[in-house]
């Protein structure tokens, strides 16, 4: 279409979108847990065509001096050139860096994992979780898909038990005995695109993001509490509109949590 924005407006007037969804409707969401056997935890999430895979690799390291009883969580979001023509290969672009920072903020604000749980021996040894999130197909709303993939992958992580030998002072890893991570909170992101400064549509596609006058992402936890509101510029939002977004985000949280629980239950050995 020569006038994509006009084309969209005609649909939005009728309270629907060109792909047939209502304004407050998410695309079909699927999650596959434990898809990478070489990682310590992994998940593949599809949000319509947007496909994201997250692999978690655990390593042992010395804790920081000022946080002797804490481990580390290091997230990294990659948007390689294979996922969309809008990205070039080479060092991470602005959008990938912003997504990585967003995921780091979600981990910090939601307290998804207590970093104290990653400590093996105070001041001597702690786990480092490298969470690599790679986009395989980019069709908008990368933040929701990345946050979902991270949560599902962390719930899949099994860490071997580690003890420190008193005599030698060396760590001994028992690969036969593995324990899951304690997931303390389940943060879920819900993104909206703002059209013509007033209309809110949920789970925007890449085309909708390009045409929108702004975007906003709300992250909530199990108790419906806000973990973060990510609004990178664009149209301002009234308090009432923001409240609408939060209400929708709380409903979405229940849907996502139900989906993760169902998938985890289905892969548990009988």
pTM score of the predicted model: 0.91
Long-range (24+ apart) CB contacts under 8 A made by 157-164 are 157/40, 157/41, 157/56, 157/58, 157/129, 157/181, 158/40, 158/41, 159/40, 159/58, 159/127, 162/60, 162/120, 162/125, 164/120, 164/121, 164/124, 164/125
Segment 41-93, tens digit of pLDDT: 999 999 999 999 999 999 998 888 888 889 999 999 999 999 998 888 888 88
> Model confidence at 105, in pLDDT bands (50, 70, 90)?
very high
Segment 106-135, tens digit of pLDDT: 999 999 999 998 888 888 889 999 999 999
> Model confidence at 178, in pLDDT bands (50, 70, 90)?
confident
> Model confidence at 270, in pLDDT bands (50, 70, 90)?
very low
């Amino acid at each position: 279409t020569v006038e994509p924005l006009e084309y969209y407006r005609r649909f939005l007037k009728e309270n629907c979108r060109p792909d047939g969804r209502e304004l407050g409707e998410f695309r079909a969401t699927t999650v596959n847990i434990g898809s990478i056997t070489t990682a310590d935890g992994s998940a593949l999430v599809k949000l319509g065509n947007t496909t994201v895979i997250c692999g978690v690799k655990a390593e042992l390291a010395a804790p920081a001096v000022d946080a002797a009883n804490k481990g580390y969580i290091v997230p990294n979001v990659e948007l390689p050139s294979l996922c969309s023509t809008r990205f070039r290969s080479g060092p991470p672009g602005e959008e990938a860096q912003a997504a990585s920072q967003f995921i780091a903020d979600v981990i910090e604000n939601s307290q998804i994992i207590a970093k104290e749980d990653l400590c093996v021996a105070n001041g001597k040894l702690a786990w480092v979780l490298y969470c690599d999130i790679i986009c395989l197909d980019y069709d908008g709303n990368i933040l929701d898909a990345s946050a979902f993939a991270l949560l599902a992958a962390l719930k899949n992580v099994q860490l071997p038990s580690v003890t420190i030998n008193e005599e030698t002072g060396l760590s001994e890893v028992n690969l036969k005995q593995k324990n899951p991570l304690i997931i303390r909170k389940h943060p879920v992101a819900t993104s909206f695109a703002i059209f013509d400064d007033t209309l809110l549509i949920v789970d925007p596609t890449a085309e909708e993001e390009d045409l929108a006058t702004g975007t906003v992402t709300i992250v909530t936890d199990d108790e419906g509490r806000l973990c973060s509101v990510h609004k990178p510029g664009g149209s301002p939002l009234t308090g009432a509109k923001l409240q609408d977004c939060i209400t929708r985000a709380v409903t979405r949280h229940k849907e996502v949590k139900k989906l993760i629980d169902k998938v985890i239950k289905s892969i548990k050995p009988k």
